[in-house]
Structure 1
C-alpha cells in the first residue's frame, strides 16, 4: 500500500512507540517468547494507522459513491447508449412524414439521321426537375413537380428538324396516391411510428432499471464495508481490553493473588485476538476494493480514499403503507417495459397482416405546361391535363408473409407470458422484501439489546474479578468473547437492515437511496 512521506513518518513513530509500550508491559524473561506477537501487533498497528489517518486521506460518503458509480459504470453507460439510440430511432420514424425536396438535371446526347438526306446530326436534350414529396399519416402520398426541358438539334441537319430547333417545354404537376387495402388509412405508417415510440420508451425503462441496479450494488457494497469496518473496530477494542486484562493479571500475579496460568491464558487470548484483527482488516480491504471497483474512481489513488459512515447509527422505522404489490406494479419501469413489449408485439402482428394483404391504390394527377421554341411564353402554362386510375397488386405466393404472421403471433404470445411471469416475480419479490425489511428491523433491535446486556455483563464480571475476587480469568475472557460476538452481530444487523431497506425501495420501483440531485462525484474534494 502506497503511503506518502508524512504519513510514513507518523506511522514509524507510532510503530516504535507501540513496540516500546509492549516491551514495558512484558514480565522479565518473557520478551523473547512474545517477539512474534509483537511483530504481528506492529503489522496490525501499521494497517490501522494507514487506514485511519483522517488528516491525510479524502472521505467520500454514500451519496458520493452512488453518484460516481452512476457516472462511471460501463454497463449503465451502455444502457444509456441504447436509450439514446431508441430516441434517435423514434425521431427517424417521425421524420418519415417530413416533406422531401428532390432536384435533378440530366444531359443527354445522341446521333440523328435525316430521313431524306441521311445527313447525320446531333440531338441534345437537357432536363431540369424539382419535386416536393410529402407522406401523410393517412397513407396518402403527394408529389408536386416542376420540370423544364430543352431540346436542340445542331445545324448540320437539314430542314426536316428545322422546326424543332430549338424547342423548350415546362410543366407543373400534382400527383397523389392512396392505398385502399394494404396501407388503408395509414395502418402501416401508424404502426411504424408507434413501434419506434414504444422502442424508445422500452430502452428508457431498461436504462432506469439498470440505474437502480447499479445504485443497489453500490449501497450493498457500502454497507458491507460498513459492517467490515465496524467489526474491525470491535476487534481492536476487544484486543485493547485483553491488553488491559493482561496488565491486571500480571499485577495480581506479582501480588500473589493469581497463578501464572492466568497470565498465559490472557496472552493466548491476545494472540487469538491479533489474528482475528488481521483477518478483519483483510475483510475491510476486500470490501473496500469491491466498493471502489463499482465506483471506479479513474485516476484516483484508492489508498488515499476513506469511506465515511454515519455516526451512532440506529435502525429507522420504514413506513409500510398500502398494498406493496399494487405500488410496485404502478411504479416499476420494468413492468411498464414488459407491457409495452406486449403492445409492440401486437402492433407488429397487425403490420405483418397488413403487408400480406393485396394492395389497391387510387392514383390521380393534374398538370399544366407549355411548349415553345422561345423562352418568352415558356411559363404561361397554356396546356393542362389530368389522369386518374386504380392499381391492383395481388401476391401470388404469400409463403414468406404467412410465415412472418405466424412468427409475430408467437412473439406476442411470448411477450404476454413474460408479462405474466414478471408480475408473479414482482409479487414474490415484494413479499420477500417486505418480510426482510420487518425482520431486519426486529433483528437490529434485538442485537442492539443483546449487545447492551453483554456489555453490562462484562462490566459486572470485571467488578467481581477486580474488587471482590468472586470471578476467574476464564469467566472474564468468556464475557469478552460474548461482547465481541454481540457487537459484530449488531454491526451485521445494521448492514443487513440497510441493504434490505434498499431492496425494499427498489422492489417498490423507487431508487434504493433517495438522492435530491444526481451529479458526478468529485473524489478530490473533502466530504464532511
Structure 2
C-alpha cells in the first residue's frame, strides 16, 4: 500500500476526535459505528457497506440525501480519481531508489582480429606477416549494498591465436570487494534517498486525504446551496402569487373608488420585482444543480438529470465542545500540518546525505582470482585447480581541493530543514487561526438563525397590520408592498442562515481535520505525525 514504508520512518500517534460534541451525529449524518460493517476500496477508502447509492432512472429525478451526495463524489468524482493516482505514482520513486541495491548481471562477448605486415628494408628481406586472433566471453554478478560494500563475481574465458604460437585458452574466476571507509560508508546516508522517497509517498497520502476532506466539504456546501436555491425559488413563487393577489385586490378597490389609480403602479412594480427575483432564483438553482452533478458524477446521469434533495437544512441542537478542543484536533489531524512535519523529517535525511558528501572518498578494495591455461576450452577450466592465481588489494582516495560544491549542498540542506521547521510553526499558527475563525462562524450563524426567525415573525405581524390598514383605507399600496418585500427578505435570510450554519459546521470539522472521521470514511493519513 502506498505510504506504508514511509510510516516505518516516522512516529505516528492515533488521535480520538470524539471528544468535542457528538461525532456520531455531527450534522445529522449517520457515521461509522452503530453496528455498520465496512469494506475496503482503493487506497483503503472505506464507505459503509449498507450504502448502495441512488441511481438515475429515465425521466425521474435523482433523489439524494447529503450523505448520498458525499459517497457518490468519493466513488465517482473525476478530480478525486485523478488525485488517487498520485501516491501510486510517487511510490514508483521508491522502487527506483530501492533498485540501486538490486543485483546486476553483466556480460561481454568480443572478437578481435589483428594483421600486421613488417618490412625490413635494410636487410632486403621478404615482408613478414603477423596475425593475431582473440575471443573473449565474460559474465558475472555485481551488487551494491547499503553498507557501502560493492561485490562483484565474474567468470571469463579467452582464446588467443598468434602467428608462430600455438592456440591458447585461458579461464578465470574471480571476486572483487570494495568497501567505502569514509564517504558512502554509512548505512543511514546510503539509504537516505530511499527513505526520502518513502516519506514523499507518505506525504502524498496525507495530501490526498486533505484533497478528499476538501472535496467532502465542497460537496456538502454544494448540496446545501442547491437546497437553499430550491427554497428561494419556492419563496419567490409564493411571493409572486401574493403580489399578484395584491395587484388584483388593488385593481378591484380602484374600480370601486376606494383607492387612487396611482396605487396600481406600485402593485405592478411589486409583481415585476417578484418575477425578476424568481427568474434569478431559478437560474441560480439550475447553476447549483449542474455544479452538484459535476461533483457527484453519478453513473448513468446526464447534464439534464434532475435532482431531488431529501434533507432540509435543519439547525440541530449539537454540542460542539470547546474551541480549544477543536484547535488541538486541528494541530494533530490536519493533513497539511502533518505533511509539513514530514518535510522536516525529509530535510533531516537530506542533511545526513549531504554531510556524508563532505567526507573524502577512501575505499578499500581487494581482488582475488584463479586462472587456468590450456590448449582447449574445457581444459582451461579444469586447470583452475592449478597454481595460477591473481591477487590485488589497496586503498583508493579522492578529495576535492576546495569542496565548495559539497559545502554548498550541505548548507542548503541545513537551511531547507530550518525552513521546514519554521513552516510547521507557521502552519500551526494558521491552523489555530483557521479553526478559531471557523468556530466563530458556527457561533455567528447559530445566533443568526434565532435572530432571523424572530425578525421573520415580526415582519409577518407588520405585513398583517399593514394589510388590515390597507383594507380600511388607512395606508397605501406602496407601504403594503414594502412590508411584503421586508417579509420576503426575512424569509430568505432565515433559510440562508440555516444552510450557512450547516456549512459552517462542516467547515469547522474540515479545519480541525476530522471531517472524514466524523463522516465514517476511513482513509490513510488519520494519524498524527510526531516529531
TM bracket (short chain): 0.7 to 0.9
Deviation for aligned residue 1:448: 3.4
Match of 2:104 in 1: 100
Match of 1:430 in 2: 435
The answer to which of 209-218 and 452-461 deviates more is 452-461
Superposed CA deviations along residues 181-216 of structure 1, whole A, max 9, x for unmatched, are: 111232332111111111222223223323333443
The answer to which of 257-266 and 142-151 deviates more is 257-266
Count of residue pairs brought into register by the alignment: 455
Match of 2:180 in 1: 179
> Equivalent of 1:144, from 150, 153, 177?
153
1:489 lines up with 2:498 in the alignment: no
Q: TM-score, normalised by structure 2?
A: 0.75
Superposed CA deviations along residues 43-63 of structure 1, whole A, max 9, x for unmatched, are: xxxxxxxxxxx9946436455
Inter-CA distance 394–313: structure 2 relative to 1 (3 Å threshold): closer
Q: Distance in 1 between matches of 2:114 and 2:83?
A: 59
Match of 1:168 in 2: 169
Inter-CA distance 393–335: structure 2 relative to 1 (3 Å threshold): same
Q: Distance in 2 between matches of 1:386 and 1:64?
A: 74
CA contact (8 A) 1:502 1:513 kept: no
Q: Distance in 1 between matches of 2:312 and 2:502?
A: 14
CA contact (8 A) 2:172 2:371 kept: yes
Give the greater-gyration-radius structure (CA): 1
Deviation for aligned residue 1:117: 9.2
Match of 2:332 in 1: 330
CA contact (8 A) 2:220 2:503 kept: yes
Greater relative contact order (Cα 8 A, min sep 6): structure 1 or 2?
2
The secondary structure found in structure 2 opposite 1:379 is helix
> Equivalent of 1:85, from 82, 85, 89?
89
Q: TM-score, normalised by structure 1?
A: 0.75
Superposed CA deviations along residues 146-193 of structure 1, whole A, max 9, x for unmatched, are: 22222223xxx33xx13xx1x222222222111111112323321111
Superposition pairs for residues 206-217 of structure 1, below 5 Å? 206-217=207-218
Inter-CA distance 242–506: structure 2 relative to 1 (3 Å threshold): same
Q: Distance in 2 between matches of 1:298 and 1:311?
A: 22
The secondary structure found in structure 2 opposite 1:110 is strand
Q: Distance in 1 between matches of 2:72 and 2:454?
A: 36
Q: Distance in 1 between matches of 2:216 and 2:189?
A: 41
Match of 1:406 in 2: 411
Q: Distance in 2 between matches of 1:60 and 1:129?
A: 72
The secondary structure found in structure 1 opposite 2:218 is helix
> Equivalent of 1:509, from 513, 517, 523?
513
Match of 1:374 in 2: 376
Superposition pairs for residues 1-12 of structure 1, below 5 Å? none
> Equivalent of 2:138, from 129, 145, 160?
129
Deviation for aligned residue 1:432: 0.8
Deviation for aligned residue 1:488: 0.3
Match of 1:59 in 2: 62
Q: Distance in 2 between matches of 1:104 and 1:67?
A: 58
Inter-CA distance 170–452: structure 2 relative to 1 (3 Å threshold): farther
The answer to which of 350-359 and 269-278 deviates more is 269-278
The answer to which of 57-66 and 314-323 deviates more is 57-66
The answer to which of 322-331 and 484-493 deviates more is 322-331
> Equivalent of 2:355, from 353, 356, 362?
353
CA contact (8 A) 1:317 1:441 kept: no
Match of 2:43 in 1: none
Q: Distance in 2 between matches of 1:231 and 1:196?
A: 52
Deviation for aligned residue 1:481: 2.5
Q: Distance in 2 between matches of 1:496 and 1:512?
A: 20
CA contact (8 A) 2:431 2:511 kept: yes
Match of 1:188 in 2: 189
Deviation for aligned residue 1:424: 0.8
Superposed CA deviations along residues 203-250 of structure 1, whole A, max 9, x for unmatched, are: 232233233334433433443333233222211111112223344455
